[in-house]
Amino acid sequence: MRIAMISEHASPLAALGGVDAGGQNTHVAELSTALAAEGHEVRVYTRRDAPDLPELAELDNGVSVVHVPAGPAEHIGKDDLLPHMAEFSHWLVRQWGSGEWTPAVAHAHFWMSGLAAVTAGRLTEVPVVQTYHALGTVKRRHQGAMDTSPPRRIGYERALGRSVDRVIAQSQDEVAELIRMGVPRARLSVVPSGVNEQTFAPDGPVADRIPGRPRVLTVGRLVARKGFQDVVRAMQLVPDAECVIVGGPPGSDLDADPQACQLRRLAEDCGVGDRVRLVGAVPREEMPRWYRSADVLVAAPWYEPFGLTPLEAMACGVPVIGTAVGGLTDTVVDGLTGDLVAPRDPRALGMAMRRLLSDRVRRFAYATAALDRARQCYSWRRAAEQLVAVYATVSGVRQPSRVVA
């Protein structure tokens, strides 16, 4: 089957850890790879955000990336991309409508991709499947006046839910939110993200650690809602441990990064400055080394649409302490593969860290169950198969054809 992935701001080729580059990039890259491995022809359409990018890049894994010229060929924050979506959509219409490459289905990631895909899909009769990745209603609830999304985002997301052929939710929490938004239940399917079990596995190289010092690892874009400040505060309750924070700009640029400086200042104020270390962005292929080096992965977001990092840690056989929000309430089984605590509660987080770090047997039991759960329930192959069934239904292609080399 010919499948178009639309991912306006999140290229599968981007370096991760920056403000707008994280889970969606990984999701689109891994899902496309898994679909291509099943014999499907996959093209990812993403905005051309640098002048030296080729219009079409063919990757070794059989996936092609199309850099769509919409707006200037430079980085634009995702909250300022909306004015360029019409151009993005016109470009899709020209390519799909000309017969040069017409997909059986378009899978849009994030709401702005959905707008471009729905407009192009209507004109070219290509059905559209939508994954939101994050919802404006949730962001507004948590960030209030700090939310920099375009003011009409929530209205657009609601309208999209009624216009696309199918909405993919990634967790039960998202299902509830979508239903509250008025998306008809019959249009919803739940297909969670996966984890690459070849890349993220317990065996392999391990990042250096200080002998005898337990390591708490936390990973993500350095944005407030990831709750790194709560992890830093919680470190006061585990006086023997160190906290390693992975993510943000490259390590050499951390000194100039306001979020990084704020976290370092907070660590000093809490008296844990010598035990909190920021390493900056780590290339995706090096992430497993960091997970393997940890005694526990702490993920303390205030809200989280899905949350890949707990799952990646689980696949490396690392127990997780997470906040009971969004996708984490599905992936982390409280008391079995890790512990869940209330969000924005550094004390509860610190107590959970203290209990787990002092209990080797419990850590081992969680790690074993976590690895098992990641492998059984969250392979990308499984996600790809479930999505192909959805694509087949909306496109009427009941027997997706294998591409013959």
Comparison of 15 and 403: residue with beta carbon closer to ligand UDP: 15
Among 184, 289, 302, residue whose Cα is nearest residue 244? 289
**Residue tagged 């899909």 (tokens):** 121
To ligand UDP, the closest distance from the beta carbon of 252 in angstroms equals 14
Rounded to the nearest whole angstrom, what is the least distance from the CB of residue 271 to ligand UDP in the complex? 27
| Closest CB 315 distance from ligand UDP, rounded Å | 11
* Distances 148 to 10, 78, 136, 327, 338 between C-alpha atoms, Å: 18, 10, 10, 23, 33
Per-residue three-class SS string for 54-104: CCEEECCCCCEEEEECCCCCCCCCHHHCHHHHHHHHHHHHHHHHCCCCCCC
Phi, psi of 43 (to 5 degrees): -120, 130
| CA-to-CA dists, residue 300 to 64, 77, 153, 230, 319, angstroms | 35, 25, 26, 7, 14
List residues binding ligand UDP (CB under 6 A). 16-17, 22-24, 26, 219-221, 246-247, 281-282, 284, 287, 306-309, 312
Which CB sits closer to ligand UDP, 2 or 133? 133
Give the nearest residue (CB) to ligand UDP. Answer: 22
To the nearest whole angstrom, how small is the minimum distance from the Cβ of residue 298 to ligand UDP? 12
The whole-angstrom separation of Cα 5 and Cα 309 is 22
Kindly state the smallest distance separating residue 17's Cβ from ligand UDP, in Å: 3
**In the numeric block, which tokens belong to residue 314?**
């689980």
Cα dihedral 243, 249, 251, 255 sign = negative
User: 2 or 109: whose CB is closer to ligand UDP?
Assistant: 109
Cβ nearer to ligand UDP, comparing 234 with 308: 308
Q: Max alpha carbon distance in the chain (Å)? A: 64
Q: Of the two residues 22 and 136, which places its CB atom closer to ligand UDP in the complex?
A: 22
Instruction: Please say which residue, 108 or 246, places its beta carbon nearer to ligand UDP.
Output: 246
Cβ atoms within 10 A of the Cβ of 262, count? 15
Cβ 250 to ligand UDP, closest distance in Å? 9
The residue (of 104 and 232) whose beta carbon lies closer to ligand UDP is 232
Rounded CA separation 205/201 (Å) = 10
Closest CB to ligand UDP among residues 89, 309: 309
Contact 9, 47 (CB under 8 A): yes
- Residue 21 CB, nearest distance to ligand UDP (Å)? 7
Cβ of residue 242: shortest distance to ligand UDP, in angstroms? Answer: 18
Question: Residue 110 and residue 233: Cα distance in Å, rounded?
Answer: 32
State how far the Cα of 47 lies from the Cα of 238, in Å rounded to an integer.
Answer: 44
